[in-house]
Amino acid sequence: MDRFNEVTAKIFAKLYEKFPIEIDIHIDEFTDESAADFYVAVDAGGFFLPDGDVELVQHTVRWLVREGYIHLECEQMSSFAGCTLTSKGLQTLNKIPQSLDRSYGEKLIEAIKDQGTDTMKSLAKQVLEYGTSLVF
């Protein structure tokens, strides 16, 4: 769950910082693996299978899309093209909780720059908790 929260925080910060511009999310930005190492085996149908952190990043992005936080145009082998925050994602990240002096989005960007992994994870958890309370 910690790694999910960390990846979620980084994705949210990247999309919030670039909003409303659609951007591509490249899996290698969130893993220590090179693009060549993303897929380690071939299944019976001849398709490459994702491994380790790559699989976690893929499923995190897909979950954020399914839950309505982000929109994407298409999924490619090692990236997600045309990503942007949805209105739910933007509203969630624009929220300024009483305990903070800035929005969740601004705090996430700051935590990424400061490499505050624990802060990123905590903020991502708070953002998702707040987001589930929104009715869309």
pLDDT tens per residue, range 101-115: 889 889 889 888 887
17 confidence band (pLDDT: 50, 70, 90): very high
Contact criterion met (CB below 8 Å) for 122 and 100: no
Per-residue model confidence as pLDDT tens digits over 57-83: 999 999 999 999 999 999 987 899 999
Distance CA 21, CA 126 (A): 25
Strand 39-42 with 74-75, pairing: unpaired
Using only the alpha carbons of the chain, give its radius of gyration.
15
- How many of the other CB atoms lie within 10 Å of CB of 92? 26
In this prediction, residue 39 has a pLDDT band, given cuts at 50, 70 and 90, of: low
Domains in the chain (CATH in brackets) are 2-130 (1.10.10)
DSSP class of residue 44 equals: T
Residue 116 DSSP symbol? -
